[in-house]
Amino acid sequence: MSNEFPGWHGTTIIGVKKGGEVVIAGDGQVSLGQTVIKGTARKVRRLSPGGTDIIAGFAGSTADAFTLLERLEAKLEATPGQLQRASVELAKDWRTDKYLQKLEAMLIVTDGKELYVITGAGDVLEPEHDVTAIGSGGNYALAAARGMMDSDKSAEEIARAAMAIAADICVYTNGNLTVEKI
């Protein structure tokens, strides 16, 4: 038997860009080992630094994600209207700062025009096919959404349907969604 702390598991966050709108959706499940601790967590947030609307969704440690969201807001206030630049600056800090390097989270961010995934490895990724997903059920949601991108469904309908599929497959994902749209 291991004495290791079981760790927080799971979540699924998806970003879909289609028809002039961008949607980020996330489930509400927080698990500790094999136990669901909370089923209604809010992992998708609307930020408004300097009056600019930004939506961010996070997977990973909640405290770490909040630290990153605060840093992102500061970067956005320093570079108003420049999501890409703020994201790159955050990723650079995350990769090089000894404190930030220990943070375990990933972010999907959008300003309604651009859609990015920001990682602790210093990556700011713009997804192909206008859809991206992170977290334990991310690959399931991504595959489902990619399969629907050529349909008549809206960005929100695709995000909701893909999240439902991920929730059916991934035990660390539930159907309690937070959906934000720009």
Catalytic residues: 11
- Give the 3-state secondary structure of residue 80: coil
- Residues 9, 33: contact at Cβ < 8 Å? yes
- Residues 51, 6: contact at Cβ < 8 Å? no
Q: Which of 70, 113, 117 is nearest to 91 (CA)?
A: 117
CA 173 to CA 150: how far, in whole Å? 25
- Beta strands 124-125; 115-118: pairing state: antiparallel
Q: Which two tokens stand for residue 139?
A: 């690959």
CA 157 to CA 35: how far, in whole Å? 30
